[in-house]
Every structure is written in structure tokens, then in C-alpha cells.
Amino acid sequence: MLLLSIILYLIVTVAIGFWASRRVKNSGDFMLAGRSLPIVLSSAALFATWFGSETVFGASAEFLEGGLYAVIEDPFGASLCLLIFGVFYARRLYNMNLLTLGDFFKVRYNKVTELTASLFLALPYLGYIAAQLVAMGLILNVVIHIPVWQGIVISSVIVTLYTYAGGMWAVSITDFVQSIIIIAGMVALAYILSEKAGGVSVVISEMPQEDLKFLPSFEFKEIAAYLAAWSVLGLGSVPSQDVFQRSMSSGSARTAVWSCYIAAGLYLTIAMLPLYISLCTKHLYPDQITGDTQLTLPNMVLQHTSLPVQILFFGSLLSAIMSTTSSAILAPAAIFSENLVRPLVKHRYTDKQFLMLTKICVVIFAILATIMACFRSNIYELVGESSILSLVSLFIPLTLGLYWKRSSSKGALLAMVAGMITWIIFEAIETSWPSLMPATVVSLLAMIAGSYAWPQEEEKAV
């Protein structure tokens, strides 16, 4: 019965995607849903961006091992990202009427900067998509006992199918439906397990005191590591195409801003539930906290809950992961087709040809991420790595490009390259310092130095 319910759910999701495809008339509809989403759909889409495998599997596993201090990156950092994007970026970027985030670097700087930035924007998504596919592979492995790699391939085909058909319209409408299922499933399971455990106070009282630690000790290195944890998603995902794409799909700049605020609050609230559910699991079924802790929640639900609860849990879990995966596939495909292929090809595309090119890129990125997912299995690491790459290369050029008039394309290029090289060096020598911190500082210094050395006005005059 559980397997049948999952199959029916997947069929309905694909059907919704194909139904949404009727709204796709041009590339703008496919990439940004015609910039017409109401606040309900826009907020749901932004919330669903984050509520994925790393929230349910990754964060809950990290929380069981290290308490609140281990999950600063997600969900706290992820919520911070949406808040920061709403306050400082959404309105300014919306008013620029851009198709992709890569277009910002073309408009603000030049085509060379656009090409470089677009590479740094698109490639990190492979790890992010792979993380979601690993999660769906794990679910199918637990439920129907097929090898994880087979579950990964099946999941990839399903999500790619409806993303290919309906683009951002399919993503937005399925996200709305999936968000309802996510919230209902997480709330129901948390309530049921909490009642079994004797209530919230009983569950929390059993937590070791060190697991409740949220602030760092007054030591420089620990403070640096703490700030780095907040920054991985909090700042690193600001220059990301999926957050940009969902925000820019809103019907107005005001809607874009408020959707970020609503999604940030909703995510921080609902993302606490998997952490609490993992505590309830530890209290009720301590034997489950062994082996791969990423599988703790699905195994517990299968072994210790009724069929209706199983259907609700796995439905919400699949909803969370599929919604994240679909946007993660669409985002780099849009960047690749608009900012990498189109500028390099002299042939002038019609809008219909460009739409087909973007769809082909959807398939290509899905295939590459599927291959990566078959060889990597740590969800939390895959997500963190993808955000760090964006932080050390793109955060400074984007932010100063919006707020510092003196920013130049040479400075932006220097910031991207210097930040990435610094990160690679610090990763290679394995210091006790978080590699992203010196890399981000170097990126900032390179941006300032390059912009003063080669002002934008002089470049335009050449």
C-alpha cells in the first residue's frame, strides 16, 4: 500500500508538471513563470527551495551527533540567506528585469565577466542536485529495497521529466502543492511522536546540556568557525540562480521582497520539526540511532508507525526533495543556455529555439548530477560544498556591484579568481581555519584593488 501510494504521488506530480506546461509560451515563461507569481506561490517556491534532503536527512543526522551547534549552517544559515536576500537584493535585482543572475554580471560589468561568473554559478549546482538525488535514492532503498543507485536514476528521470515539460511554472505549482504536504506531514509526525514520548518538555529535558549550546566560546578560532557556519548558506547562497529565479518570478518587486521574508520565517519554523522528530526518535527508539544516521528517520517511520503516518511522512519527504531538485536542475540550465551558450554562438536564436536549448540543458545537468550522486553519498557535505563555491567567488562581485559604484569588471574577475584559488589552497593545506573565510577576505580585497587599478570608466573607453 505504501509503495502504491508513492507511485500514485509521483504520477500526480508529473501530471501537474505537464498541466503547468500549458502556460509556457516562451523562454520567459519557462525560466521565470512570466514574472507573474502571486505571493502565495512565490513564498511557497522560496520555502521549498530550502526544504530538501539536507533539512530532513542531513541536518537531523548532524543534530543527533552535535546538537544545535552542528546545524548552524542549516536551517539557521539558510533562513538568514532568504532574509538577507529580501532586505538587500530582491528589489534591486527585480527592478533590473533580468532573465538570469548571470545577466547581472553582463549588465553591470561586461561579457567576459558574465561568462566567468556563469561558470561559477552553474557548476556548483551539480553537487546540490546530486544531494537531492541521493536522498530520493535512499528513500526508495528503504521503502522498496532497491539499490540506492537505481533509486537515484529513477528519481532523476521523474523530476527531469516534469521540469523539462513545464519549467518554472511546473516548479512553482508543484512547489505549492508539495509545501502543503511537507508542512502537514512534518507537523503530524512531530505531534504523534511527541505524544508517545510524553510531551515536548520530556524530550527536551533529556538532551545533553552541550547539545543545547548555540553560541561560541570567547575564542577567536571558535568564533571564526561559528561565523563560517552561518556564512556557508547564509551568504554563499545569496548569489544562487535558484533563489534569484524564484524571487524574480514574483508578480512585483514588493511581492519578491515579502516572499523572501515569509519563506524565511516559514522555513526556520518547519525546519525545526525534523530536528525535534530526531530527538523523539532517540528517546523512543534509541536502537535506531546506529549506522548511517541519515536513514534514522525513514527507518523509524517504517518500523514504528502506522500506514497512514508512513504515507504522510514519505509523501512529505518526497515533496520536499522533489521541489528542491526541480529548481536546482532548472537553475543551472537557465544560466548555461542564456549566459554561456548563447553569447558564444554567433547564430541568432529564435525564442522557440532558445527554449529548446534550455530544455536540452535541463537534461544535460540532470545526467551529470545523476552520475555524481552515484559516487557521493553525504548529503550535508554536498550541499555545503556547492554553497561555499558561490560564496568565495561570486558574493563579493554581486554585492559590491549592486552597492559600490566604483566596482569594475576587472575587479570582479580578480575577486572571482582570487577567491576560488585561495579557497583551493587552504583546502589543500588543511589548516584549522575554515577555508571560506580567508578566501572571502581575499575576494573582497581583490575586488577593491582591481576596481581602483582598472576603473570601469576606462574599460568602456578602450
- Please tell me which residue, 52 or 385, carries the higher pLDDT value: 52
Q: How many domains does the chain have?
A: 2
Query: Is residue 181 pLDDT above 60, yes or no?
Result: yes
Tell me which range, 22-26, 224-228, 264-268, 379-383, is most confidently predicted by mean pLDDT.
264-268
CATH for 221:
1.20.1730.10
Burial class (CB in 10 A: 0-12, 13-18, 19+), 210: exposed
Residues 248 and 373 reside in one and the same domain: yes
Residues 278 and 414 reside in one and the same domain: no
Which of 357, 387, 417 terminates a domain? The answer is: 387
Q: Of the given ranges (140-149, 152-161, 346-355, 449-458), which has the lowest mean pLDDT?
A: 346-355
Average pLDDT value for residue range 139-164: 87
Residues 311 and 188 reside in one and the same domain: yes
Residues 291 and 437 reside in one and the same domain: no
What are the pLDDT digits (tens) for 286-333?
A: 887 766 666 777 878 888 888 888 888 888 778 777 877 888 899 899
Q: Which amino acid is at 387?
A: S
User: Cα(27)–Cα(32) distance, rounded to whole angstroms?
Assistant: 8
394 lies in some domain: no
Residues 377 and 434 reside in one and the same domain: no
Q: Which residues pair with residue 37 across a beta bridge? A: 250
Average pLDDT value for residue range 361-372: 92
- Measured in whole angstroms, the distance separating CA 355 from the mean position of its chain's CA atoms is 24
Mean pLDDT (the chain) is 86
Quote the pLDDT of residue 380. Answer: 55
Residue 383: pLDDT band with limits 50, 70, 90:
low
The grid coordinates of residue 118 equal 556563469
Residues 371 and 415 reside in one and the same domain: no
313 lies in some domain: yes
Residues 232 and 192 reside in one and the same domain: yes
User: Cα(350)–Cα(93) distance, rounded to whole angstroms?
Assistant: 26
Average pLDDT value for residue range 217-239: 88
Residue 386: pLDDT band with limits 50, 70, 90:
low
Quote the pLDDT of residue 148. Answer: 86
What are the pLDDT digits (tens) for 259-283?
A: 999 999 999 999 899 899 888 988 8
Quote the pLDDT of residue 433. Answer: 78
286 lies in some domain: yes
Q: Of the given ranges (32-36, 100-104, 314-318), which has the lowest mean pLDDT?
A: 314-318
Residues 124 and 255 reside in one and the same domain: yes
Residue 220: pLDDT band with limits 50, 70, 90:
confident
Quote the pLDDT of residue 303. Answer: 82
User: Cα(100)–Cα(95) distance, rounded to whole angstroms?
Assistant: 13
- Measured in whole angstroms, the distance separating CA 80 from the mean position of its chain's CA atoms is 13
What are the pLDDT digits (tens) for 331-352?
A: 899 999 989 888 877 677 788 8
Average pLDDT value for residue range 386-397: 87
The answer to whether the CB of 391 falls within 8 A of the CB of 227 is no
CA 240 → CA 99, 293, 393, 424, distances in Å? 13, 29, 11, 20
Average pLDDT value for residue range 178-194: 87
Average pLDDT value for residue range 439-460: 87
Domain limits at 426? 404-462
Query: Is residue 186 pLDDT above 80, yes or no?
Result: yes
The grid coordinates of residue 291 equal 549506522
